[in-house]
Amino acid sequence: MKANIFEIKRFAVHDGDGIRTTVFFKGCPLRCVWCHNPEGLSFEAQEAFYAHKCINCGKCKEEGFTVLDCLGEARVLYGKEITVDELLPFLIEDKDFYDNSGGGVTLSGGECLMQADFCAELLKRLKENGIHTAVDTCGFVSKEALDKVIPYTDIFLYDLKAYDEDVHIKCTGQSNKIILQNLLYLDSLGKSIEIRIPYVPNFNTDQIEKIADFLRPLKNIKAVRVLPYHNFAGSKYTALGMENNLPETLPTDEEIKRAQRCFSSRNGNLDF
């Protein structure tokens, strides 16, 4: 069994508690207008060219050239097939850092649960080695995919972009009905959940109160993170030859604080 991944990030500190290693899987069912990982959208491997890194070494004109031969690292291949047996030893290397910091391994994307069988096997092997596990998901996956990883996942990092279906379709291209249903399902099973909400001015700013009201009766939400939108990914779109439609307006600090206050006023016992 193999999975297609596009990055392994060691010493990550924003993908769950403690020091973590995050594995980014290729392929995503959503098309968020603010996506900051465009290299994770396609299920296929993609070559990117970062022109500003090119040192005109001429290697790319030689017969048999691969991206690994690019001296200036201007050409990058996003996507590599790998087995659990190949990946696991690399993830276990930093177990001391995980243990000392309360960290572990996070599976992300793209949408990692589009490759649910691989994720389940990897998570199972990680748990057998005493490593804390997190699954970062957009929630737009089948219940069957969730069921495969639930026994081996310590916490779900669950994205919520909007509460109103029409807003969600406008922002992501898909309905959010299955996303909300899956969240309720995870909560009913007593699974630990951290909610992650990208705050994007002019797109989902009017959704914050509605999301907060939706979350209020849930019993297993451990934290709510309001994530300020940024447009750092513009160079990735150019390098991949993809159209860059990233929103121009960035949130202010006061907007983020206001959103955080909205959740704290309704769910005062949560971590923000």
Other CB atoms within 10 A of residue 253 CB:
8
- Run means of pLDDT, 10 residues per run, the chain, 272 residues: 96 96 98 97 96 89 82 92 97 97 97 98 98 98 98 98 98 98 98 98 96 96 96 95 96 95 76 52
Q: Is residue 127 part of a domain?
A: yes
Other CB atoms within 10 A of residue 101 CB:
15
Enter the pTM of the model.
0.94
Tokens of 188: 């009913």
Structural domain including 16 reads: 2-266
Q: Which residues contact 252 (CB under 8 A, 6 or more apart)?
A: none
Question: What is the predicted pLDDT for the residue at 264?
Answer: 87
Q: Is residue 64 part of a domain?
A: yes
* Residues 191 and 220: beta-carbon distance below 8 Å: yes
Q: Is residue 111 part of a domain?
A: yes
Residue 133's CATH number: 3.20.20.70
Q: Is residue 13 part of a domain?
A: yes
Q: Is residue 271 part of a domain?
A: no
Q: How many domains, the chain?
A: 1
Tokens of 198: 């990208």
Question: What is the predicted pLDDT for the residue at 270?
Answer: 59
Q: What is the dihedral of CA 234, 235, 238, 241, to 10 degrees?
A: -100
* Residues 185 and 215: beta-carbon distance below 8 Å: no
Question: What is the predicted pLDDT for the residue at 271?
Answer: 56
Tokens of 214: 């939706």
Q: Which of 52, 30, 33, 38 is nearest to 248 (CA)?
A: 33
Describe the crossing of helices 116-128 and 84-92 by its angle, rounded to 10 degrees: 40
Q: Is residue 213 part of a domain?
A: yes
* 3-class DSSP state of 119: helix
Q: Is residue 56 part of a domain?
A: yes
Q: Is residue 272 part of a domain?
A: no
Q: Which residues contact 115 (CB under 8 A, 6 or more apart)?
A: 3, 4, 25, 27
